[in-house]
Amino acid sequence: MHAGIIFLLVIIGSVLFHIFTPWYWTDIASNWKGMDDTITLTFWVGGGVFVAVCLFMIYCVFKYQHKEDRRAEYKPEDKKLEKILTWATTLGVCALLAPGLIIWNQYVNVPKNAIEVDVMAWQWGWQYRLPGADGKLGTTQVRNIADNNPFGINPDDPFGKDDIMVESDVINLENNRPVKILLRSVDVLHNWYVPQFRAKMDAVPGTVTFYWFEPNKVGEYEVLCAEYCGVGHYAMRGGVEVQDKADYEVWLSEQETFEQLSARYEKLNVDGNKLAKK
Amino acid sequence: MSDEYDNNKSYQAQSSEVMDGSAGSINPDIDYVRPAEVGEQDLYHGHSFIEKWIFCQDAKVIGVQYFLTAVFTGIVGLILSWLMRLQLGFPGLAGFMTAEHYYQFVTMHGMIMVVYFLTALFLGGFGNYLIPLMVGARDMVFPYVNMLSFWMFFVAVAVLMASFFVPGGPTGAGWTLYPPQTILEGTPGSGMGILLMLISLSLFVIGFTMGGLNYMITILQARTRGMTLMRMPLTVWGIFTATVLAMLAFPALLVSAIMMTLDKVLQTSFFMPTILKAGEVLEYGGGSPILFQHLFWFFGHPEVYIVALPAFGIVSDLISVHARKNIFGYRMMVWAIVGIGGLSFFVWAHHMYVSGMNPWFGFFFATTTLIIAVPTAMKVYNWILTLWRGNIRINTVMLWCLGFIVTFVNGGITGIFLGNVSVDVPLSDTYFVIAHFHMVMGIAPLMVIMGAVYHWFPLVAGKMLHEGLGKWHFWITFLGAYSIYFPMHYLGFIGVPRRYFEMYDSPYMTSAVGMNEFISIAAFIVGAAQFILVFNIIKTLKTGKKAEKNPWKANSLEWYTSTVPPEHGNFGERLPVVHRWPYDFSVPGAKDDFIPQTTAPSEVIHTEVEKT
């Protein structure tokens, strides 16, 4: 008897916790509301099944407690019932899977007008690069990476010259404009994750991965690394600042291009050599 | 012609088991069981203490050895989890806790609990003890190889534990051991620690293969007369299918361990692309980190079911015995176990939706993953339908089973979140994942293990564990574990990533400080409560009530041995002959509410038994 009551309290407690929890999603700041909605749907269907199964179990515990003079029913199979349950479950599963796949289809198809942002990760930090006036990022190679070329841009690639180098672990994004995040890593796995944007993807050394989202709320957000990358994993933070178009343009104009950066380093070198000669 | 006639007669005999009291004269052939086709196995009986208890070939002793060694690793894993929770709930309280240590504890906790504790306990422990007894064999078919299997496991555990004491300590790469970080500086234990881990895993796989061959072949070849496949207890079905999965999945782990060892020692580049580390380009190039993930999860996902299927099987038997009712839909249960086992090889990349693999894989793996929910749900329905109109004993064993149903359904439902590709995107790599897999493959199987310990202890030791202590053990464990993992899902919703040594001051994370403290305290209590069982066992062995034979009034063969506890050879002079499935409980017309598998149809002539 006690057992049934305690189990019942556990189920009631779970439902109440879910309703009154102070811990829930951060306010969404991107276009992926569909993910939240699918989670809500799954909560209704899955939570309903959980509660129903547990209540049925608790009912049995109350109703069919052992009595010496009673016998259980002897009924090894009930084909019809099993068939109904199988189809009902299949239907429920399809109802959950369908929206999941539809949203995934959006997730893997990047809109044409998305601006590319090259995110480079290393142990333990982030760097960003944007395409310049030509709208194209220059090709890169890990072996080219040096102080005067933090992204390893191929010096012969004409598309690379005007690439915009963001020398900060904070990247600014334009509000209401889709962003295609290109992820690269020079050492181990990382994952560029902003909880408010919902989306994430691993950065894998040796390849370029991507995902996209459209920020829709002006503000500052913290970037977390969401794939374990060694002892500094928990401290590998960065930032995003979502701005309106006008503010964003101002910020953009203040950034250095790859050509300018190379020139600055060359000058440093020349000056350094002059100093050495003197 | 005479041959044909005989066959025909035996067929008729077996099919006429649905008996009716009005049937008049008794046909002597209704008890017919096909004779054995091969002679009995010769057993080597140990003569000295060492042969009887240490290098022993008796599967039951090997089972107990596996059990105790696995429990030892489990206690190590438990202590590691305490240390982790100490840091997460009360950062800075333990002065020695650096990020390096934290990640080493996380890694070792995960690997120990999944492989060395749960897998070894279910297959090595329960498998060895129960398979020969339940199928009516005198021992495993290759007793010597079986002995080697345990000792190989023992060496694997020793190597694993040794890694705590080497320079640099054990590996802190996370239990998934994802390269490149696993073997690069920047990850704790990337020197000796990871090497010992890879060696230990390889030894484990070798040892497990020896055991697994035994389990499979014993079940396929050494069943006693009348024990058809569809008369086997679901425990045996669960262990059998899990073993088949293990034999197919572990090789993937072995090759990935070997390849990673080569990457580490000989600078090959199976998994290593060009890497820039501290301004230097390392001597690697062209390898694929994602290849390792595919190999790892090709092992890793079936591994989940290697743990879950024996738990499914065992809990079905426990529920049936203690609800005094046949398991509902036995055939469906068998096919669900086999179906889940087969499907489990087609879902591995649902661990990798955001790994950077080709995103189009997501469609396939989300679909296969959600298909697996159907047979799994059928099993859940059948467990609760077994309780329906049962005659349920609410004893310690049943409590663990009920606790299993609650935690398993909870964890199964959250699995639908994570399996459903786009829902996984915000939740993957957060605490939601931790809560999900601990609920579904940590707590739920643990509930079954505990139920099984209370259920079979009278057989193994001949004494009854104390019920009162058992109930305290259950309630503290169940309520405590539930209050650890249920709220933890919500940490994942707010976006707290897993494997974080410290949360710092991100606003949505600081809101969870109180919850983290609560979870940690609950974890300390639940861990401590496990020692109630240790105390109960010691107390029972010393002063406990002697168990009567077959105290639960079960039907399966392990309760019908010549002596309790069963001796080497299990069944005395003659092997039992099986006439029915093990679930003939509360059969209308029968004198008792159970009919043992060995009872011939002619002995229960006035009953309405289903043909099995």
CA B76 vs. chain centroid, Å, equals 18
Tell me how far apart the alpha carbons of residues B576 and B134 are, in angstroms, rounded to a whole number: 11
Binding-face residues of B in 97-126 toward A, CB within 8 A: 99-100, 103
Q: How are strands ordered across the β-sheet holding A202-203? A: A170-174, A238-243, A219-225, A190-193, A202-203
pLDDT tens figures, A73-123 = 998 888 999 999 999 999 999 999 999 999 999 999 999 999 999 999 999
- In 3D, which of B388, B249, B397 has the Cα closest to residue B314? B397
* pLDDT in the model for residue B609: 81
pLDDT tens figures, B259-288 = 999 999 999 999 999 999 888 899 998 999
pLDDT for A276 beyond 70: no
* pLDDT in the model for residue B611: 77
Is residue A60 domain-shared with residue A123, that is, in the same domain? Answer: no
Give the nearest chain B residue to A39 (CA atoms): B423
Is residue A99 domain-shared with residue A137, that is, in the same domain? Answer: no
Q: Which residues of B touch A188 (CB under 8 A)?
A: 180-181, 184, 186-187, 275
* pLDDT in the model for residue B607: 81
Give the DSSP letter of residue B439.
I
Q: Which residues of B touch A57 (CB under 8 A)?
A: 384, 387, 402, 405-406
Mean pLDDT score of chain B: 91
- Which amino acid does the sequence have at A213? F
pLDDT tens figures, A215-260 = 999 999 999 999 999 999 999 999 999 999 999 999 999 998 988 8
Distances from the Cα of B579 to the Cαs of A35, B173, B612, in angstroms?
55, 53, 8
pLDDT for B15 beyond 70: no
Whether B500 and chain A come into contact, CB under 8 Å, resolves to: yes
Tell me how far apart the alpha carbons of residues B408 and B438 are, in angstroms, rounded to a whole number: 10
Q: How many residues does chain A have?
A: 278
Q: Which residues of B touch A76 (CB under 8 A)?
A: 326, 328-330, 583, 610
Is residue A143 domain-shared with residue A176, that is, in the same domain? Answer: yes
* pLDDT in the model for residue B46: 84
The answer to whether residues B356 and A207 touch, using CB atoms and an 8 Å cutoff, is yes
Is residue A161 domain-shared with residue A25, that is, in the same domain? Answer: no
**If you count residue pairs, one on A and one on B, with CB atoms under 8 Å apart, how many are there?**
324
Contact yes or no for A64 and B374 at CB 8 A: no
Contact yes or no for A195 and B426 at CB 8 A: yes
Q: What is the mean pLDDT of residues A183-210?
A: 94
Contact yes or no for A199 and B425 at CB 8 A: yes
Q: Is residue A153 part of a domain?
A: yes
Is residue A28 domain-shared with residue A139, that is, in the same domain? Answer: no
Q: Is residue A256 part of a domain?
A: yes
Tell me how far apart the alpha carbons of residues B425 and B146 are, in angstroms, rounded to a whole number: 44
pLDDT tens figures, B199-253 = 999 999 999 999 999 999 999 999 999 999 999 999 999 999 999 999 999 999 9
CB atoms within 10 A of CB B306: 31
Q: Tokens representing B250?
A: 């572990």
The answer to whether residues B398 and B392 touch, using CB atoms and an 8 Å cutoff, is yes
SS3 B151: helix
Q: Which residues of A touch B273 (CB under 8 A)?
A: 205-207
- In 3D, which of B75, B77, B45, B74 has the Cα closest to residue B58? B45
Quote the domain boundaries for residue A51: 2-65+77-108
pLDDT for B358 beyond 60: yes
CA dihedral A20, A22, A24, A29 (to 10 degrees): 120
The answer to whether residues B156 and B116 touch, using CB atoms and an 8 Å cutoff, is yes
Band of residue A265 on the pLDDT scale cut at 50, 70, 90 = confident
The answer to whether residues B135 and B35 touch, using CB atoms and an 8 Å cutoff, is no
Band of residue A26 on the pLDDT scale cut at 50, 70, 90 = confident
A38, A66, A200 member nearest B420 (Cβ): A38
* pLDDT in the model for residue B62: 96
pLDDT for A54 beyond 90: yes
User: Among residues A85, A108, A131, which one ends one of the domains?
Assistant: A108
Contact yes or no for B479 and A10 at CB 8 A: yes
Give the nearest chain B residue to A205 (CA atoms): B273
Is residue A100 domain-shared with residue A185, that is, in the same domain? Answer: no
Is residue A261 domain-shared with residue A204, that is, in the same domain? Answer: yes
Contact yes or no for A35 and B493 at CB 8 A: no
Determine the longest span between alpha carbons in chain A, in angstroms.
Answer: 109
Is residue A119 domain-shared with residue A30, that is, in the same domain? Answer: no
Contact yes or no for B402 and A207 at CB 8 A: no
Per cent of chain A over pLDDT 70 is 97
Is residue A154 domain-shared with residue A187, that is, in the same domain? Answer: yes
pLDDT for B510 beyond 80: no
**A178 to chain B nearest CA, in Å?**
18
The answer to whether residues B365 and B415 touch, using CB atoms and an 8 Å cutoff, is no
Tell me how far apart the alpha carbons of residues B193 and B103 are, in angstroms, rounded to a whole number: 13
**CATH at A192:** 2.60.40.420
pLDDT tens figures, B396-454 = 999 999 999 999 999 999 999 999 999 999 999 999 999 999 999 999 999 999 999 99
**B180 to chain A nearest CA, in Å?**
5
Binding-face residues of B in 309-348 toward A, CB within 8 A: 323-326, 328-332
Q: In which residue are the tokens 């008049």 written? A: B24
pLDDT for B537 beyond 60: yes
Question: For B438, phi and psi rounded to 5 degrees?
Answer: -70, -40
A57, A187, A234 member nearest B277 (Cβ): A187
Contact yes or no for A234 and B500 at CB 8 A: yes
pLDDT for A275 beyond 80: no
Give the nearest chain A residue to B360 (CA atoms): A108
Give the long-range contacts of residues B219-223, CB within 8 A, separation 24 or more: B219/B131, B219/B135, B221/B141, B222/B41, B222/B132, B222/B135, B222/B137, B222/B140, B222/B141, B223/B135, B223/B136, B223/B137
pLDDT for B19 beyond 80: no
Q: Compare B504 and B134 and report the one with higher pLDDT.
A: B134
- Helix, strand, coil percent values for chain B (each to nearest 5): 65, 0, 35
Contact yes or no for A42 and B417 at CB 8 A: yes
Tell me how far apart the alpha carbons of residues A134 and A161 are, in angstroms, rounded to a whole number: 10
Q: What is the mean pLDDT of residues B492-499?
A: 91
Whether B5 and chain A come into contact, CB under 8 Å, resolves to: no
* pLDDT in the model for residue B23: 45
Terminal-to-terminal C-alpha distance of chain B: 28
Q: Which residues of A touch B326 (CB under 8 A)?
A: 74-76
Distances from the Cα of A94 to the Cαs of A87, B109, B359, B374, B425, in angstroms?
10, 36, 21, 10, 19
Number of domains in chain A: 2
Q: Which residues of B touch A100 (CB under 8 A)?
A: 366, 420-423
pLDDT for B16 beyond 50: no
Tell me how far apart the alpha carbons of residues B417 and A96 are, in angstroms, rounded to a whole number: 9
**A253 to chain B nearest CA, in Å?**
30
Regarding the domain delimited by B55-227, which CATH topology (the fold level of the hierarchy) does it fall under? Cytochrome C Oxidase; Chain A (1.20.210)
User: Among residues A52, A86, A108, which one ends one of the domains?
Assistant: A108
Distances from the Cα of B65 to the Cαs of A66, A67, A129, B253, B345, in angstroms?
36, 39, 59, 25, 31
Give the nearest chain A residue to B474 (CA atoms): A3
Q: What is the mean pLDDT of residues B463-491?
A: 95
* pLDDT in the model for residue A262: 86
Q: What is the mean pLDDT of residues B34-55?
A: 86
Q: Is residue A72 part of a domain?
A: no
Sketch the domain layout of chain B as residue ranges. Answer: 55-227, 394-557
* pLDDT in the model for residue A35: 93
Choose from A44, A188, A193, A209 for mutation: most chain B CBs within 10 A: A188
Contact yes or no for B409 and A50 at CB 8 A: yes
